[in-house]
Structure 1
């Protein structure tokens, strides 16, 4: 199997401090509107809104392939870019953020989880789920995973709708969180 990751960044940014990531794939016979076009749309919108801000000078925006096949795209990215990955302060991952009226949830490194709860008033979290943040966490990079939980259309042919308002709300919460997460820490990251 062969896949393709798509990575966007502003000209001249070679040492990002943060990767905003999501995945491009879905499962066979599922259109994947929520799982995971919604996460892809969130990353694209983050890039669009950040382009003329200082955040763009500190970020990569990555769309990984092969998440449903064992996190292949994100694992390959981490393995093939060890110096870049070790220079990161954090990785934010987005998966299934376009359906459910439930609050946006965030899981990840304990020291980072309080940041979005305070900065963006994100209520609640749930057990961490395996997605493209996992290879970054395994490489020692603090991660945050933004999601809204499973919905009735998960991995079904009926996964054909995502709510743009929920995606925009996720982007807004992320932008509030990113600045706080990139502040210098006592660990020097």
Structure 2
């Protein structure tokens, strides 16, 4: 008999719907995906700040920050990247259950992994936000100097250079940070959430 058979799900006394009613808004995942330096974390944090000022319960899970703690045992090979996203998906699901809006800013290069997270929650609880920006522009920005290191082969398995990035095929939202300012992207996303009656 495996130990897993001894684990039983314990239903919470406070339901997801009760939490949503208490908070006055829906709970869902805004999954920001895109190349390094595309603007995922910047847009996610600005959106979170705006939602917070409106009295919404909101939290940002950022790729680099998560790798300092929860996922500090993972590297950047394909297997570890998949596990990184799986764990974030499970954490995000808990945030949705707690009645909060969770914004995740992860390169999350593989469609299969993003779809796995999508399946963890109800269809209306997952919005894929493709932060669109060309490799050339991201490389020009290079705020952390990672592209330079990748080109000098100081970093291996770097998305866009020595590892693949699979663009979303049908994202709920596309934000083009190459053509639009951060402010315009934030405004556009907030408008979309209002139209979908999520906030």
TM-score for both structures, normalised by structure 1 = 0.46
**Max radius of gyration: which structure?**
2
More helix per residue: 2
